[in-house]
Structure 1
């Protein structure tokens, strides 16, 4: 008998890839969402769609009863209350997996380890707040809900991705750098180019969610990220290599960036203190990450077919040219 999977979300970026991974591994898949976004699986008979609001417990209970899933992957639990409802409604499934975040960690350590590095506290006010300032605390509280549910016999686990990239990324964070490298032969990289912000390829996040649902320890959280961490400069070099183009990386300090009223923080994927997650716990379950070049090849191929350019993250080419001009005179 084929195992069944319910994906809460399932149409955009991570959720989309989760569905594809589950299908590739023999699951019958049902997606549950409000239908607000066009689904890439509309013509796929292997995917069933149940419409409903995940914040409405009645809708979620109806989905549980109609699907009776073996595993549940929760892509859109943004508040602790969402997780509390899910672990109760899906208390009898073989595996419920909540997508948490590397932002749940409160301490700046290298690397951040499950069960070792402190998690963010979450006040009652933060638990219902919808700002990015409360995102980490909300995700951390969801992790604690999972841990408590497991102590009561629920097969619930968490997966904590670092910043995710790959095909169909509507955030366009990496699209900025892809577009920059393919459009210009010189790009400004803030600082010395050696800053580290651990990234996770979306297909690897999807496979991690399935692997944890199948083999994870109830109550445990698992970090997921590329097994090889690269600096921002190495990322730019990798894009250029895969794209078959030449692109010179030009380093600029905050003092040099200030000549064009810019700062390092205005460049997407830049982070002052390294953010690195230990992924050994996940690897011990048999999970593997995609080689970086292969991941970038797939990402770039889809980017070229899309209309995304990361413009919302662009600090401005004119300002960048000003900085380049300053550096050329040094």
Structure 2
């Protein structure tokens, strides 16, 4: 039986990885702060990586694999990886495509230019923090470190506010701003596909960086929002609106219109990567309709309001600005 140490394991990516490991019959230990309960069947060890002596709960024990999703100060990854390097077989660090220097061209691969980062840095900015975490994992584990550079992550348990906002907005129905073009390609990964690939890749002994996202165009803004409309009852009237009009209105892509980036440099950077390496290593991506439907089922099961990470900004466009942009003001 494989033994997994999940650093976190109670929310979104960590929870999906934990559930996948349990389905494989693995022995799972979750090291977390105790704010949320991990799935049943997991052994919990409590600790705070940011506090003095916070790793005391990991002073003993051996594991085949450690999975780390840390997003803040790289020193937390450095200290944990150093502590475990002699007692764990492999270390998978869930990083981000944000580690690539902007602007990355369409077709960028894992060889693309990276932002600067340091394993000894305190928290600075998300891209630099993730790069520092990568360097910390490699410093301790060498080629036993797997760097999972995730793209936009969607799916059940989302605590960032992107897909849940769209689902709730479209469920309200009526004329709904749909940012175009309708055939604009998206690139993302379902959290469960990310989790499954991460455990498969680690079990296969893979190391180094992999960009983990669907092929660009696996979904489009059209198929994404139409899936949201279908699963929530079809009461929304999607009104496709061009990026020029959205820009003129001062609406902020990605934040006020989650998951959407207009054509151009930023879209190429985030949604046009070449993910052949991960696909060749077994990554499979479920249809966007399944991701949307399962997220809607989960959202309804918790009363419609998704949890939000305190370190992330609120997402979405308020109703008055949306109505004004659509010319519906009274």
Taking structure 1 as the reference length, the TM-score comes to 0.84
Provide the aligned C-alpha RMSD in A: 2.8
Query: Unpaired segments of 5 or more residues in structure 1?
Result: none
Written as runs of structure 1 = structure 2, the 5 A alignment for 1:102-141 is 102-106=97-101, 107-114=103-110, 116-122=111-117, 127-130=121-124, 134-141=125-132
Q: Is 1:166–1:299's contact at 8 Å kept on the other side of the alignment? A: yes
C-alpha spacing 1:280/1:58, structure 2 compared with 1 (3 Å):
farther
Give the Cα–Cα distance (whole angstroms) in 1 for the partners of residues 322 and 286 of structure 2.
33
Q: Post-superposition shift, 1:90?
A: 2.0
Q: Is 1:215–1:285's contact at 8 Å kept on the other side of the alignment? A: no
Give the Cα–Cα distance (whole angstroms) in 1 for the partners of residues 36 and 119 of structure 2.
34
**Counterpart position of 2:311:** none
Q: Post-superposition shift, 1:224?
A: 1.3
Moved more, 281-290 or 174-183: 281-290
Taking structure 2 as the reference length, the TM-score comes to 0.84
Q: Post-superposition shift, 1:70?
A: 1.2
Give the Cα–Cα distance (whole angstroms) in 2 for the partners of residues 248 and 64 of structure 1.
57
Query: Unpaired segments of 5 or more residues in structure 2?
Result: 309-313
Aligned partner of 1:317 among 304, 316, 319: 319
Q: Which of the two has greater helix per residue? A: 1
Q: Post-superposition shift, 1:40?
A: 4.2
Written as runs of structure 1 = structure 2, the 5 A alignment for 1:47-196 is 47-55=42-50, 58-60=53-55, 62-63=57-58, 65=60, 67-76=61-70, 78-92=72-86, 93-106=88-101, 107-114=103-110, 116-122=111-117, 127-130=121-124, 134-151=125-142, 155-196=144-185
C-alpha spacing 1:24/1:255, structure 2 compared with 1 (3 Å):
closer
Give the Cα–Cα distance (whole angstroms) in 1 for the partners of residues 287 and 129 of structure 2.
32
**Counterpart position of 2:10:** 11
C-alpha spacing 1:293/1:10, structure 2 compared with 1 (3 Å):
same
User: 1:50-99: CA deviations, max 9, x gaps?
Assistant: 1112235854364251x311111112253322222233222232211111
Written as runs of structure 1 = structure 2, the 5 A alignment for 1:274-289 is 274=267, 275-276=270-271, 277-289=273-285
Q: Post-superposition shift, 1:15?
A: 1.0
